[in-house]
């Protein structure tokens, strides 16, 4: 069975809500991206999506909101957005069982609210895992404040699917040259792998299935270098970085 875990769907109501609450985490150089109209999806496009899946031999898509997660500074705004997108996905999946499914999106950076929405999404909405971006308001989602989420996902043996948030890895060397998405996204993918290794997240939460997007960015080309040089700065790693990196799963979306 071929499952496409890198699939997106953007309901109009969700797009409009994100614009109102301004919850996207973008550096100054990347903010012009928000001026572009977001892609809007509705039920009329589902037959064409299903036809494309059939043509490609894909039996299931698992939906997530990509670089437009339900994040907001105000908890109530984030919860509203998370419930809207999760309910929209659940409704769509119910109409196409076994073909369309979804990851639960979390109202970050609000941890307790995210734990509640994770429970609702996994237990009540029958979602297949959890969606998180590589960072949240320019904080890596491998940081200590997010560990209650990892602990709960580990307890549940959940799938965790990452996606870049398109902040150009917070670097003027990327954003000032307008490579925020075309190159910066792959660097975000690479960075979350490095952060997970440095923070020994997999070692401490081994029962999560971690899914890294876009072929892992530059990680495949860095494995030997990581093994040779990273232990100097990280002498307490439980195993060579290349071993940990191979414990993750990687989707094969490389074109976008």
| Confidence grade of residue 38 (pLDDT, cut at 50, 70, 90) | low
| Confidence grade of residue 32 (pLDDT, cut at 50, 70, 90) | very low
Judge whether residue 9 has pLDDT over 90.
yes
User: What is the pLDDT, as a whole number, of residue 123?
Assistant: 99
How large is the average pLDDT for residues 231-237?
A: 96
User: What is the pLDDT, as a whole number, of residue 35?
Assistant: 38
With a CB cutoff of 8 Å and minimum separation 6, the contacts of 231 are 237, 240
pTM recorded for the entire structure: 0.93
User: What is the pLDDT, as a whole number, of residue 256?
Assistant: 60
User: What is the pLDDT, as a whole number, of residue 18?
Assistant: 86
Pairing label, strands 135-136, 139-140: antiparallel
What distance in Å separates the CA atoms of residue 163 and residue 198, rounded to the nearest whole number? 19
| 15-29, 81-95, 226-240: the lowest-pLDDT one | 15-29
Judge whether residue 149 has pLDDT over 80.
yes
User: What is the pLDDT, as a whole number, of residue 66?
Assistant: 87
pLDDT in tens, 165-217: 999 999 999 999 999 999 999 999 999 999 999 999 999 999 999 999 999 99
How large is the average pLDDT for residues 160-164?
A: 97
- Supply angle C-alpha 237, 195, 72, rounded to 5: 150
How large is the average pLDDT for residues 8-34?
A: 70
Compute the mean pLDDT over every residue in the chain, rounded to the nearest whole number: 92
How large is the average pLDDT for residues 147-156?
A: 99
Q: Where are the domains of the chain?
A: 3-250
User: What is the pLDDT, as a whole number, of residue 143?
Assistant: 98
Tokens representing residue 1 in the block: 């069975």
User: What is the pLDDT, as a whole number, of residue 30?
Assistant: 44
Distances (CA, A) of 33 to 85, 195, 231: 21, 26, 38
Q: Where are the strands (E) in the chain, listed by range?
A: 3-8, 60-64, 100-102, 104-105, 130-133, 135-136, 139-140, 159-163, 209-212, 249-250
The CATH homologous superfamily for domain 3-250 is: Metal-dependent hydrolases (3.20.20.140)
What distance in Å separates the CA atoms of residue 181 and residue 165, rounded to the nearest whole number? 9
Judge whether residue 37 has pLDDT over 50.
no
């Amino acid at each position: 069975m071929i499952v496409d875990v890198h699939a997106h769907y953007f309901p109009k109501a969700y797009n409009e809500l994100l614009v109102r609450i301004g919850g996207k985490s973008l550096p100054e150089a990347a903010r012009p991206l928000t001026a572009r109209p977001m892609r809007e999806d509705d039920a009329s496009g589902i037959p064409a999506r299903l036809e494309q899946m059939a043509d490609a031999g894909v039996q299931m898509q698992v939906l997530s909101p990509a670089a437009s997660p339900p994040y907001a500074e105000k908890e109530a705004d984030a919860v509203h957005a998370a419930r809207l997108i999760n309910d929209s996905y659940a409704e769509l999946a119910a109409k196409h069982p076994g073909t369309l499914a979804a990851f639960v999106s979390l109202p970050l950076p609000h941890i307790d609210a995210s734990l509640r929405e994770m429970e609702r999404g996994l237990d009540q909405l029958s979602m297949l895992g959890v969606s998180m971006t590589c960072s949240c308001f320019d904080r890596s989602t491998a940081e200590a404040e997010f560990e209650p989420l990892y602990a709960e996902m580990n307890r549940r043996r959940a799938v965790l699917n990452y996606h870049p948030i398109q902040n150009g890895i917070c670097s003027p060397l990327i954003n000032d040259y307008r490579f925020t998405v075309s190159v910066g996204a792959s660097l975000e993918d690479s960075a979350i792998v490095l952060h997970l290794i440095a923070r020994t997240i997999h070692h401490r939460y081994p029962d999560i299935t971690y899914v890294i997007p876009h072929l892992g960015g530059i990680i495949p080309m860095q494995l030997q270098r990581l093994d040779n040089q990273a232990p100097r700065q990280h002498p307490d790693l439980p195993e060579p970085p290349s071993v940990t990196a191979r414990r993750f799963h990687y989707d094969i979306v490389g074109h976008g």
